[in-house]
Structure 1
């Protein structure tokens, strides 16, 4: 048995994550990927990028300190390879390229800014065999702060993906028009058809939190009915009460409502009654991508 350590850094619009995985190689057995550590830092880059068009000096300082700490953690854990990807916020920021150059100088972390298509490709490289059945149609929905990736799975394989500029931070700041919602609705309806039963696979920190709040066991899907009731319940509470009474983090208590709205609309337009929550996403896909690139 050989145990190797790989890491993924996901620089999103609402938060930054470091995922460290143990990759267990055994002779004549499938390679196993086990989460060793997950660190999440609430640096909301999206508000800078989407409202002001550039990352501010204050956010840059926090970002550099975060990357420096991630570099140290990877050294302590003995990570042999890492992959760092920035998504919607740094894609949109006019100083995005300058930011990643500065980070590399200050922290030695090399970052790749990926577009929506590449983001969807990485996400769908995750291991979904325990969720996806080959006789069903699925819509994979990954909700981020700045963008949402939709992927249709048929016969167990991804057949079509689309990234839309809609996310929790954009919605909170009133940056999403009805036209975007209409485009998503049209895309889903035109590619799903009317005669196929479909289920949703949800990805992202908000749907993971909703699943935990539901009290359901791992592997047990959420229902559309429960999600709709939970949306109205959360929407009826003040921001402060969501923190004090529900125990939500400050940077989760606001974005969880627009995230729920995206999932609800996706389910309504696709006529899905179940939302599976395997708790895997971009960072997991980055680990798999990194590992199999060298295989």
Structure 2
């Protein structure tokens, strides 16, 4: 009989991910990863703050999905799940992009709400990091939205999605990222985030998380900077401990260097060099808010959560 092969596509505001796995028989064994790849599509670039997907980004998205479709056919996939998040959730032409993708590839895109996104991220993170019985703060900084979840290994205590992703913060506070992040922009971003994240501050007071787990690209980049080199998708372990001292050093570098020198830092993907500045301001604020000193990354997020959910069923 043919094996069940799943393709899971996560269409984020910055990055599109494709994960292809084979489900073994009997089903209690672990799925086998056949392909794990990502493409920096920058779907939110030049438009998300105006509520639309820019024409160039629209084209990049279509082109990427056509490429994913080739991989899916090559790997003889039997089932495809594609989810889209913030950029397609809030833009006027998000539905048109979903329609164009369906017409060109036959892939049906499911645009999911922020609450559902947070739930799936928690499921994904739990596959990478043993959370145990104490509450942890899980965070996923996307290009369009940021999800915060307070959870342990079995329970989600609180979750919320905020439309304050790195592309939005970049548009708002650092529209010309060629130079150094101006001190007044830093102060403005900190003030803005403090106001917007009041619900998170209240939840942190209530549940007192003991650690932070960061999923997604910004955290991967910070872990790569700590290592001093860029790791490929295949090299990433499920989780990496991010030393506070390393984060502080990276944060200072990011704040003090212009774009040219940020891009040249070891471990940085050029596409992330600017977003990482505004994302690190957010991480720094959350560290202060929680008083937490241990932080780790999770290489697993939404698509692994989707996989976990499908395996449960």
Q: Which band: TM-score by shorter chain?
A: 0.7 to 0.9
Q: 1:141 aligns with which of 139, 142, 154?
A: 139
Return the offset for 1:83: 1.1
Counterpart among 73, 89, 97 of residue 95 in structure 2: 97
Deviation at 1:127, TM superposition (A): 5.5
1:35 has 2:33 as partner:
yes
Bigger mean CA deviation after superposition, 213-222 or 40-49: 213-222
Measure the CA separation in 1 of the matches of 2:127 and 2:67. 34
Which residue of structure 2 aligns with residue 228 of structure 1? Answer: 248
Cα shift at 1:10: 1.2
Counterpart mapping for 1:253-292 below 5 A: 253-292=273-312
CA RMSD of aligned residues (A): 2.6
Counterpart among 198, 219, 233 of residue 210 in structure 2: 198
Structure 1 residue corresponding to 2:263, chosen from 240, 243, 260: 243
Unaligned residue ranges in structure 1 (runs of 5+): none
In structure 2, C-alpha distance between the alignment counterparts of 1:291 and 1:108, rounded to whole Å: 24
Q: Aligned equivalents of 2:294 and 2:71: distance in 1?
A: 38
Number of residues of Structure 1 aligned to a counterpart in Structure 2: 290
What is the CA-CA distance between 1:153 and the residue it aligns to? 1.1
Q: What's the offset of the Cα at 1:229?
A: 2.1
**Structure 2 partner of 1:214:** 226
What is the TM-score with the length of structure 2 in the denominator? 0.83
The aligned residue for residue 14 of structure 2 is 14
Q: CA deviation at 1:220?
A: 4.8
Contact map agreement 2:140 2:148 (CA 8 A) in 1: yes
Task: Name the stretch that deviates more: 265-274 or 50-59.
Answer: 50-59
Work out whether 1:189 is the aligned partner of 2:201.
yes
How many angstroms does 1:237 deviate by? 2.1
Stretches of structure 2 lacking an aligned partner (at least 5 in a row): 174-187, 229-235
Distance 1:240 1:274 in 2: 31
